[in-house]
Amino acid sequence: MQMLQDAGIPVLLKNDFIQGAIGEIPAVDNDIEVWLVDDEWRSRADALLAQWEADRDVHGYAWVCTECGEDNEAEFGVCWSCQASRP
Ligand SMILES: [Zn+2]
């Protein structure tokens, strides 16, 4: 997880070897497990990951309906619950 490493947090990527096998597929799509080297980094890493997930939501993954507040998967163009258009 380059983001964590950039923040100075030492991590191990359990599935790191997969990256060489899948070519250009972004690492975030392959459920790479991040293992913190030292548990003292946990809260910092959690905060970064929460931020990362928030950013990801903004960029077209899962979304929340503005009409009814239901969570929708990325592939839905309209809300599964109330059929409101994706914002
Ligand atoms: Zn809705």
| 51 Cα distance to chain centroid | 9
Number of neighbours of residue 43 by Cβ within 10 angstroms:
9
What residues pack around ion ligand 1 (CB closer than 5 A)?
A: 65, 67-68, 70, 79, 81-82, 84
d(C-alpha 43, C-alpha 65), whole Å? 30
Sign (positive/negative) of CA torsion 66, 70, 71, 73?
A: negative
Residue-wise pLDDT tens digits, 56-85: 666 567 889 999 999 988 878 899 999 999
CA of 12 to the centre of ligand 1 (A): 40
Residue-wise pLDDT tens digits, 1-56: 577 778 887 776 665 555 554 454 455 545 556 677 777 878 888 888 888 777 76
CA of 44 to the centre of ligand 1 (A): 34
Contact 68, 59 (CB under 8 A): no
The tokens describing 15, both together, are 């599935």
pLDDT (0 to 100) of residue 58: 60
Which run of H or E residues covers position 58?
A: helix 42-58
pLDDT (0 to 100) of residue 69: 95
pLDDT (0 to 100) of residue 22: 46
pTM: 0.35
CA of 86 to the centre of ligand 1 (A): 9
